[in-house]
Structure 1
Amino acid sequence: MKQTDFIAELEFLTTEQGGRNNPAHSGYRPHIEFDNYPDYLTSGQQTYIGQKTVELGTKVKAEIAIIGTEYFSKRLYKNMEFKFCEGSRTIGFGKIIEIINADLKCEDDIDQKTINLNLYPTDIKNRLKSDYRKNYGEAIWCIQKALISNKDFRSNRILRALIYTGNKDIVHLKKMIELARTDWRDLLLNAEYEHPNKRVRNFDNEFGKENIKASR
């Protein structure tokens, strides 16, 4: 069995609440959707602590081993909530009470709104979706990794500049991410200036409102 990633408190719904028809047994592996990460489902094997079976409508503590750990690197935290499902049907809800896999633990006291792309302004998410279409998932993944690994990316202005300079091309977007890793000021120069001394866009503003009106 895969090594335990975290310990959680689980609450199973009753059949009447839309849950399973039968009790769950240790080794059960439903899908997991973490709070504020609806874009990525993983599966989590449940090993119940102190018992082999859990009755519907009750709570239990369990060791959880997930797949896709790379995606959740530095993103999980104590008291983080999730739901577990069979297909589209929610079976129950959980809350992390201890993280065992240190690679998954996010920085202490970090604001989740700064590292989770899903919590950034709607205009950023909509522009990503419209610009990158079939590469939308890969674009999110690349930017999300940048947010986790480098504090310089954690601003609305930098993300809008990245998306704009990516020019709807996933390969070019990756090049712009590397440019920003080297010096984020070079990224802003590319995104906001026509000439070294002429600023024509301000990506502190939402997409559609970024153009700076020329003064008379």
Structure 2
Amino acid sequence: MNSINRHILTEPQLEAEIYYLTEQEGGRKTAVSSGYRGQFYYNGKNWDAPQQFIDKEICNPGEKVKVYLQTLSTDFHVGHFFIGQDFEIKEGARTVAKGKITSIIRTDFNYWDGSTFLKSIDKNIKPYSDINDLLGFRIDFEHWLTETGLIKNVEFDMTGNPECMMLVKCKLIDKNLQPREVACRIIECWKTESATSNHLYKVEMNTQSSSKTNQLQVEKFVLTFATWHSIFLTGQIIVRQ
């Protein structure tokens, strides 16, 4: 078997070019090989994302390498990437490489926000404005959020802004729930219960360490969404302790 094909990712999502810093630049002393799993750092957070080298098997400090990346927590990366986006590869607190996204293979990883969404949809698709339709969405949101067993005190704010029409604000019943569990259950409920046939979403989560247990807790979790067919709805689900 060709050695360059030894570390094949099951689902490459991004393509990038990475420069590995020399020791003098603060990088590694030794080379890295295809399959390397340094921390993938962008937007202020570290993530797991194994690398499959495209054009070589070994990359020495001071060299560049073309790679495929596969994130291991997919839902947290949907909607966040654009061509030319910078990132770093870290080992602990130390930056060992700097990279740039050159291609987005997984299409739902493409960056979006309220402004880009409005520019992308057909101009004949108008925002939900019928009070009964919006009431139906509010009832649905409150029902499935409550049904997760995680959420209480669901409140709604209709903003009048087509880029973010509805704010769904709620609190956790148990602030000691694992952040990953909270995120995954709300994302899954959004995708299976409230999204229409066409939808976009992206998530952001801030955590804090409990002073009592020293475990991570959800400080704020936000799921930004857009859903549409002949009319559209945009908004955010905001979860706090």
Q: TM-score range by the shorter chain?
A: 0.5 to 0.7
Tell me the residue number matched to 1:2: 10
> TM-score scaled by structure 1?
0.54
1:102 to 98, 107, 123: 107
Q: Which has the higher helix share?
A: 1
Structure 1 gaps, min length 5: 119-124, 171-216
Tell me the residue number matched to 1:138: 218
1:18 to 17, 23, 26: 26
Checking the alignment, whether the CA contact within 8 Å between 2:21 and 2:96 is kept in structure 1 is yes
Kindly report the root-mean-square deviation, in angstroms, between the aligned alpha carbons of the 2 structures: 3.4
Shift of 1:149: 4.1
Checking the alignment, whether the CA contact within 8 Å between 1:12 and 1:57 is kept in structure 2 is yes
The whole-number CA distance in structure 1 between the counterparts of 2:37 and 2:235 is 35
Q: Which has the higher strand share?
A: 2
The whole-number CA distance in structure 2 between the counterparts of 1:91 and 1:55 is 11
Q: What is the correspondence of 1:75-90 to structure 2 with a 5 Å cutoff?
A: 75-90=80-95
Checking the alignment, whether the CA contact within 8 Å between 2:32 and 2:59 is kept in structure 1 is yes
Aligned residue pairs total: 140
The whole-number CA distance in structure 2 between the counterparts of 1:29 and 1:86 is 9
Deviations 1:91-131 (A, max 9, x none): 011111101112212239839xx98869xxxxxx9xx98xx
Checking the alignment, whether the CA contact within 8 Å between 2:15 and 2:105 is kept in structure 1 is yes
Checking the alignment, whether the CA contact within 8 Å between 1:74 and 1:148 is kept in structure 2 is no
Checking the alignment, whether the CA contact within 8 Å between 2:19 and 2:63 is kept in structure 1 is yes
Q: 1:93 to 1:73 in 2, by over 3 A?
A: same
Checking the alignment, whether the CA contact within 8 Å between 1:49 and 1:62 is kept in structure 2 is yes
> TM-score scaled by structure 2?
0.49
Checking the alignment, whether the CA contact within 8 Å between 2:225 and 2:234 is kept in structure 1 is no
Structure 2 gaps, min length 5: 1-8, 118-163, 165-201, 209-213, 228-232
Q: What is the correspondence of 1:119-134 to structure 2 with a 5 Å cutoff?
A: none
The whole-number CA distance in structure 1 between the counterparts of 2:216 and 2:91 is 26
